[in-house]
Amino acid sequence: MDKLRPEDLDKIADRMKNVMSLRQGAGRAKITVHMGTCGIAAGARKIMSAVLRSMDESAVKDVIVTTSGCAGLCSREPMLTVELVGEAPVKYVDVTEDKVKRIFAEHVVNGKIVPDYALAVGSEQTL
């Protein structure tokens, strides 16, 4: 490793951005992959890998990726929810690895919902 110059500190921080935004729980978007038994059976594990791969390949690093249980619509699994900061969550159904690429590029990076795959905007009411 070469000796650092002051500007190199920012480069290191940039390289580490995915690590730090995860630790601080702050990012432009949150992607939830639903991992109920139904989701896993329908291939949610592959979907998770595809999401992480998309992030590795993208310059966008400040995305929180998480899992949650069954979303209730087992017949349309695998499902994932994308939630941009300040916007309502969007649920995508019948997700495939290829669909993940497009959702990541269009919705997460560019902020445009992919209507072809989306089920609905918003979530059920909770108490």
Partner 1 sequence: MKSYRTHLMLCAGTGCVSNGAYRIKAALEQELVKQNLQDEVAVVMTGCNGFCAQGPVMTVLPEGIFYQLLAEEDIPYLVEEHFLKGRPVKRLMFTPPAEKAPVPRMSDIGFFKKQRLIALRNRGLIDPEKIDEYIARGGYRALAKALTAMSREEIIEEIKKSGLRGRGGAGFPTGLKWELTAKQPGDEKFIVCNGDEGDPGAFMDRSIVESDPHSVLEGMVIGARAIGATHGFVYIRQEYPLALERLNLALGQARRYGLLGKDILGAGFDFDISVHRGAGAFVCGEETSLIGSLEGRPPEPRIRPPFPAESGVWGKPTCINNVETWATVPEIITRGSAWFSQIGTATSKGTKVFSLVGKVKNTGLVEVPMGITLREMVFDIGGGIQGDRKYKAVQTGGPSGGCIPASLLDLPIDYERLNEVGSIMGSGGMIVMDEETCMVDVARYFLEFLRDESCGKCTACREGVDVMYQIVSDICAGKGEESHIPLLEELGEAVKDGSMCALGGTAPNPVLSTLRYFRDEYEAHIKERRCPAGVCKALITYRIDPQKCKACLLCNRNCPQEAISGEKKKPQTIEQSKCIKCGVCRDVCKFEAVTVQ
* Least distance between partner 1 and beta carbon 69 (Å): 6
In whole angstroms, give the CA distance from residue 69 to residue 35: 5
> Could you tell me the smallest distance in angstroms from the CB atom of residue 116 to partner 1?
25
Q: Closer to partner 1 at the Cβ: 115 or 127?
A: 127
Checking DSSP bridges between strand 80-84 and strand 118-121, what pairing results, if any? unpaired
Q: Which of residues 36 and 78 has its CB atom nearest to partner 1 in the complex?
A: 36
CA dihedral 7, 10, 15, 20 (to 10 degrees): 160
Here the tokens at position 54 are 């998309």
In the complex, which residues of this chain contact partner 1 (CB under 8 A)?
A: 1-6, 9, 12-13, 15-20, 22-25, 27, 35-36, 40, 45, 48-49, 51-52, 55-56, 61, 64-69
